[in-house]
């Protein structure tokens, strides 16, 4: 895989080189260990037009036929706001983020709480919803999503 023409710094904003950050996930050289890593790689894939990665990391149950973003949208920044579970030992996770973009109509942003599940060992994007902050100006009011997060209950309780 070549990264010619891609920015040296990863679009997802970690400050890491693209090749060692989302690039290795987008190229398929590595798998995301956490829901956050997958979320970042999907953002970077959108930013770079790597829609194959967006498609194959989208759960088949919820995946649209066309994963293209709206025409003319340029992704310019990502902020992760919250992470629930989604670790290397979890099967489910939630990542809340704001993706900033430029559109033909001007600056815009997408605020979403995304749900991820691990399927056959691989993290997949399931779906997302918009937190109830759109009308509340600048006061973030993160909403708790009911998720059947599997805790390690099978170890018994003493
Ligand atoms: Zn990255």
Is the pLDDT score of 139 beyond 90? no
Q: Which residue has the higher pLDDT, 50 or 133?
A: 50
Place of tokens 């209950």: 153
Residue 108 CA to ligand 1 center (angstroms) comes to: 21
Average pLDDT over residues 3-25: 87
95 CA to middle of ligand 1, Å?
15
Does the pLDDT at position 134 exceed 80? no
Residue 113 or 157, more confident: 113
Instruction: Report the alpha-carbon distance of residue 44 to residue 77 in Å, rounded.
Output: 9
Stronger pLDDT, 6 or 75, i.e. the higher one: 75
| Average pLDDT of span 120-149 | 69
Domains of the chain: 18-130 (3.10.450.50)
Q: In what order do the strands lie in the sheet with 74-85?
A: 74-85, 92-103, 106-119, 122-129
- Given its phi and psi angles, is residue 15 left (phi above 0), alpha (psi -120 to 50 degrees) or beta? left
Q: Assign 3-class secondary structure to 17-33.
A: EHHHCHHHHHCCCCCCC
Going from the Cα of 20 to the center of ligand 1, the distance in angstroms, rounded, reads 8
The residues placing their C-beta within 5 Å of ligand 1, an ion, are: 10, 12, 21-22, 40
CA of 8 to the centre of ligand 1 (A): 11
pLDDT at residue 18 greater than cutoff 60: yes
Per-residue confidence band for 24, with pLDDT thresholds at 50, 70 and 90 = very high
* Ligand 1 centre distance from Cα of residue 18 (Å): 6
Say if pTM beats, i.e. exceeds, 0.85.
Answer: no
- How many angstroms does the Cα of residue 66 sit away from the middle of ligand 1? 23
């Amino acid at each position: 895989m070549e990264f010619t023409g891609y920015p040296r710094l990863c679009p997802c904003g970690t400050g890491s080189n693209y090749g060692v950050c989302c690039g290795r996930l987008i190229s398929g050289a590595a798998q995301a260990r956490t829901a956050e890593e997958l979320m970042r790689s999907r953002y970077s894939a959108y930013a770079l037009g790597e829609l194959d990665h967006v498609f194959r990391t989208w759960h088949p149950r919820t995946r649209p036929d066309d994963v293209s973003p709206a025409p003319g949208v340029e992704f310019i920044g990502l902020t992760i706001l919250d992470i629930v579970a989604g670790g290397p030992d979890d099967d489910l996770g939630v990542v809340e983020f704001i993706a900033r973009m430029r559109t033909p109509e001007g600056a815009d942003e997408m605020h979403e709480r995304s749900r991820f599940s691990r399927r056959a060992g691989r993290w997949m994007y399931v779906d997302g919803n918009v937190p109830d902050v759109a009308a509340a100006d600048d006061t973030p009011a993160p909403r708790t999503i009911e998720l059947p997060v599997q805790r390690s209950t099978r170890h018994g309780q003493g």
